[in-house]
Structure 1
């Protein structure tokens, strides 16, 4: 073996040894990481077994803090069914039920609710259709949990026809409007660059409005319910969705970059080229359209959830006017999907897939909301939708940059995101969503 071969072998062996940590060092590192966790678990166990040494007198003489909230009300002939959840630190027991100054007989699935536990209370009461009622649940310590029924009406029975109606409702407010909006594809393809810039601005405005709308709606749902964090759940859902989509996009970029480097070579240094610092690289149009469809789909999931739950408790009156309002409001979402595809139009199959990704979650949301409604879940999912559409709006911003100076189609300087055209588009998008949203007030 020549000296050069020996040096190469030594270098390779040394590099391999630096890349692969020794098993002993790896075990020591894991022990160092798990050691504090084991110590914390031991201390918590001792603290629990000893019942908190020195803390026994802290709660002496302090009355229990009872905090509970009514999450759902269902009306059936001769009965009022309430779902109550304990959102406080102390157990809660319901001793009496008062319906409009009348103490009614009742049964409950749980005599005492521990923190975060729920109980279903069935009250025997012959309510009258259309009349308002005030309900007070009296606890064993004399506290009151209040609920109001503005106008009594029977809750729909959950059978095959009910779930079929919920699926049809999801199609009406999700799938069909998005598909109608995607019919603007030929118009977008034949539009000059300045019009495409305007439509991209409209898309950003639509998504920004959806993000704020979903956030406010989620916070309203849990404004009086802090069982699992209240409004913080909306923000948590938004950040989770934003980070997940950002991470997925970064992974897809890295994978695509590795594939290109493997096909063309990485150059003399062996390192693929990266965009300059501070420069945001625009996504490929088809991937951006997919992200928009996913973001809108997550938003429609939360919207369907809210619609289904509202109908299940009798607070949503379905009618042709309301369905038409939803259709007009959500049609613009289809435009948002096809606008990035102005220069790279896909086939009909891909367009249909994008439409289903964006619209069909409304069906699942309506079914879930009508079956297992829980305010905290609804708020979290609305937050997820808000974070998703916000992330997509950020990804569209690089496409809003003005064309090169001197172009006949546009005179804006290259690199500017907020030009007169794109700014007008963003404002127009938000105004359109606001105006059409007035048609679906429930």
Structure 2
């Protein structure tokens, strides 16, 4: 072996040495049954999280996950303080394992129910159903979810992109204000996705990451898009103009993925009113996203085909999100995906920052501040409609 290869091998062995030592220590502790590692004081820690509720005629199904350190066995089930039959048996649910608890019990649409899961050790986990509504069959509304995703994602973004001819007539000095308006729009989307992600994370098992999944998704998307941005900047033409607007479309698309998740999930549990008011509200709210996409290319010509592709990148993820949500996507995965949207939008805002600078090199000047606040206010106002 050559001296250089021996040196590299020695370096790797030194790096692995602490890992080998800790592995040997753990193995020795397990074999010797070291006091303090296996002994337990007090009752077992039983924690069940209800991740999904399915209501069928004459039955209630709860998909539960064990988020505690100890196995859990569901022995009895109560509905509104009355014990009911459960054809589940005494199935033990291991750590992070899932099980479906099916309760044979007639329920009345529109009524509220409280389901109590009594464990074999006497613990009680209570789950509330505020309004009982039959759960639709996911296989029957994929087409409907695609249609709704088109209504609230693709069409509004495409309509908003029709602002491009008007933007080209705006004096160059005022484009800074419009770019600041774009930053404000995106900032509100990031706030909205963060709140939604934290809310969804709280509905699932905290042992899978909880709110940390939103931060993990945000950091992952931010770093990935930063790498893409650096790669684009190294190519001829830099990362300005058309390539910058591509990043904006990607960021908005990831946000619309989360929006579609919320729509699909709500429909899956029968909590989505498919009325014209809801569709119109989402449409008006998302139309402003089209403005954010075309603003970076207001000073140059863009092929119509490219605009179509950008519109699909930004709007079509709403369809995919609706499908995922309707198929009972896990809360932990939904929180992670919503975090992706947050990180992507924050990275895009970072890219747009230099376009706000005035002749003195200031990013935050009166025009940009008014534009940012105006964009956030616009998104808030249109969000009230949905």
Q: Which residue of 1 aligns with 2:362?
A: 416
Deviation at 1:21, TM superposition (A): 8.7
TM-score by length of 1: 0.83
Distance 1:398 1:312, change over 3 A: same
The answer to whether the 8 Å contact 1:110/1:120 transfers is: no
Rg larger in structure: 1
One of 243, 247, 256 as aligned partner of 1:300: 256
Deviations, residues 346-391 of structure 1 (Å, cap 9, x unaligned): 1011111111111111111111111132111111111110111011
Q: Which residue of 2 aligns with 1:59?
A: 40
Query: For 2:329 and 2:275, how far apart are their aligned partners in 1?
Result: 22
1:177 lines up with 2:159 in the alignment? no
Query: For 2:25 and 2:169, how far apart are their aligned partners in 1?
Result: 69
Q: What does 1:105-254 correspond to in 2, within 5 Å? A: 105-108=85-88, 111-159=91-139, 161-223=140-202, 225=204, 226-254=206-234
State the SS of the aligned residue for 2:100.
Answer: strand
Unaligned runs of 5+ in 2: none
Deviation at 1:193, TM superposition (A): 1.7
Q: Which residue of 1 aligns with 2:295?
A: 339
One of 229, 239, 244 as aligned partner of 1:288: 244
State the SS of the aligned residue for 1:223.
Answer: helix
Q: Which residue of 2 aligns with 1:275?
A: none
Runs of 4+ in 1 over 6 A off after TM superposition: none
1:436 lines up with 2:362 in the alignment? no
Q: What does 1:66-77 correspond to in 2, within 5 Å? A: 66-77=46-57
Distance 1:94 1:182, change over 3 A: same
TM-score by length of 2: 0.94
Unaligned runs of 5+ in 1: 1-19, 261-281, 405-413
Deviation at 1:150, TM superposition (A): 1.6
State the SS of the aligned residue for 2:207.
Answer: coil
Deviations, residues 286-310 of structure 1 (Å, cap 9, x unaligned): 1110110111111111111121111
Distance 1:194 1:21, change over 3 A: farther
Q: Which residue of 2 aligns with 1:276?
A: none
The answer to whether the 8 Å contact 2:52/2:64 transfers is: yes
Query: For 1:203 and 1:110, how far apart are their aligned partners in 2?
Result: 56
1:25 lines up with 2:4 in the alignment? no
Deviation at 1:35, TM superposition (A): 3.3
Deviation at 1:325, TM superposition (A): 0.6
Deviation at 1:224, TM superposition (A): 5.0
Distance 1:347 1:108, change over 3 A: farther
Query: For 1:367 and 1:21, how far apart are their aligned partners in 2?
Result: 58
Deviation at 1:177, TM superposition (A): 1.0
The answer to whether the 8 Å contact 2:87/2:103 transfers is: yes
Query: For 1:110 and 1:348, how far apart are their aligned partners in 2?
Result: 62
Q: Which residue of 2 aligns with 1:374?
A: 330
Deviation at 1:36, TM superposition (A): 3.0
State the SS of the aligned residue for 1:343.
Answer: coil
Query: For 1:29 and 1:359, how far apart are their aligned partners in 2?
Result: 50
Deviation at 1:44, TM superposition (A): 2.9
